[in-house]
Amino acid sequence: MQGNYSKRKVLITGAKGQLGQCFKKIESNYPDLEMHFASYSDLDITVKEEVKHLFSKENYEYVINCAAYTNVEQAEKEPQKAFEINAEGVKNIAEACLDHDAILVHISTDYVFDGKKNTPYTEEDSPNPLNEYGKSKLAGEQHIQKILENYFIIRTSWLYSEFGHNFLKTILRKSETVKELTITTSETGTPTNANDLAMFITELILKGESRYGIYNYSNIGEATWFDFAEEVLRISGKLEQIKLEKTDNYPTFAVRPKYSVLDKKKLTIALQVNILDWKTSINRLNQNLGL
C-alpha cells in the first residue's frame, strides 16, 4: 500500500449473533482491519433511516452482513418478519453500500435449495426454497444482485460455534441431563464451524479479492443431524453415556431440504481456499475450548 497507511474499515452487522461474535473473537489478529460492530440495539437494518445515518457517519470500505432472522420454524408462523429482516433489511444495506461505494459481504444459506438433488449444489444451480426462511433469504440475495455489482454472497450451512444458540451447544447441554437422544437422519448437509467462516471472510477482505459473486462455504464432507450429534458426543467423551437413537421421521413445522450439501470447488479451485473437513473442525473447536 503506497502513501499514508490506513486500515480497511469494516462494518459487521448482527454483531451479537454467533458469526458476529466469531469476528469479534479474531479482531485483534487482524491489525490491518478496523472492525466496527453493530448489534441490533445499534442498528435495526429494517429501518432505512438508521442504516443511512450509520453509513453517513463512517466511510466503510466493506460491510459484512451477519444480521438475519434465522429461526426456520418460527418463520413459517411470521413470514412477514422474516422477509422484513432477510429481504427488506438486506435491500437497505445494499442501497447504502451503493451510495457509499462499499463492498458487501452477505451471509446466505443452503436452504435456498429444495434438496431434490443427490449431489452437492453448485453456485450455478437454480434456487427453489421450500420454506419461508429460505424464500426470505433468496429474496435478500436477489435484492443485492439487482442493486450492486461489487458483492460477495456467501451461502453456508448448519453453523455452530461456542457462541449463541446452535445444534452443537444444544447436544452438549442435553447430554448433561438426559440418558437418551433421538436424532433425525432425514436431512443431509454439512456442519460448518462459524469460526472458520469468519476467518475465511476476513482473509477474503485482506486480500482485496475482486472476483465478486456467489460462493458456497461450508466445511468439507457431509453428514446427517444424527452423524453431527454422534461426532459431538464422541469428541466430548460423552458418547458412551448417552443412548443415541436414529429416526427418519422427525416432524417439523417448516419443510426442509432432504439434501443440501454445498459444492465448494469454486472456492477451493478458483480462489485457492483451504477448507477443513467438518469432523476436523469440530475436533479443533473442542481442543481449543474444552467443550
Q: Tell me whether residue 111 is in a domain.
A: yes
Give the whole-angstrom CA distance, residue 97 versus residue 108.
17
| Per annotation, catalytic residue among 62, 133, 215, 259 | 133
What does the pLDDT read at residue 125?
A: 97
Rounded Cα gap, residues 61 and 181, in angstroms: 47
Question: Would you put residue 247 in left (φ > 0), alpha (ψ -120 to 50) or beta?
Answer: beta
Residue 200 domain flag = yes
Q: 244: helix, coil or strand?
A: strand
pLDDT of residue 252: 81
Residue 179 located in a structural domain: no
Closest listed residue to residue 248, CA positions, set 188, 189, 174: 188
The verdict on residue 237 lying in a domain is no
Paired residues of 65 in beta bridges: 13, 106
pLDDT recorded at residue 290 = 58
Question: Directed axis angle between helix 18-26 and helix 194-207, to 10°?
Answer: 60
Assign residue 154 the CATH number of its domain: 3.40.50.720
User: What pLDDT, on a 0 to 100 scale, did the predictor assign at position 24?
Assistant: 97
Domain-located, residue 142:
yes
User: Which segments in the chain show pLDDT lower than 50?
Assistant: 1-4
pLDDT at residue number 253: 83
Query: Which of 64-80 are b and which e, b meaning 16 or more Cβ less than 10 Å from the residue's Cβ?
Result: bbbbbbbebebbbeebe
Structural domain boundaries, residue 87: 8-165+191-219+263-275
Residue 35 lies in a domain: yes
- 215 included as an active-site residue: no
- The pLDDT of residue 238 is 85
Cα gap 261→141, rounded to integer Å? 19
Q: Is the pTM of this model over 0.75?
A: yes
Pairwise CA distance, residues 104 & 96, whole Å = 10
| 133 occurs within a structural domain | yes
277 is written with which cell numbers?
473437513
Number of domains composing the chain:
1
CA dihedral 168, 154, 221, 69 (to 10 degrees): 30
Please check whether residue 93 lies inside any domain of the structure: yes
For position 5, what pLDDT does the model report?
58
- What was the pLDDT predicted at 232? 94
The three-state secondary structure class of 95 is helix
